[in-house]
Amino acid sequence: MGPLPKRKVSKSRRNRRRAHDALTLNHLVVCESCGEYHIAHHVCPKCGSYNGKDVIEVDED
């Protein structure tokens, strides 16, 4: 036999691995300033704040 895994990866093990990828790809947090969801470690697109401080100008409707 060649260099193959000994056992088939179970559904639960495969799903756990992929769930981790999804989390790190688009990690959402609640904005400290406006309470909307935005991507962690990014400026909030709703209010333009980052880490509780306004860093960019955002048009308010």
Q: Which residues bind Zn ion (CB under 5 A)?
A: 31, 33-34, 44, 46-47
CA separation for the pair 55, 46 (Å, rounded)? 12
Which letter, b or e, does each residue of 30-48 get, where b requires 16 or more Cβ atoms within 10 Å of its Cβ? ebeeeeeebeeeebbeebb
Give 29 or 34: the residue with its C-beta nearer to Zn ion: 34
Give 23 or 54: the residue with its C-beta nearer to Zn ion: 54
**Whole-number minimum distance, CB 61 to Zn ion, in Å?**
14
Give 28 or 34: the residue with its C-beta nearer to Zn ion: 34
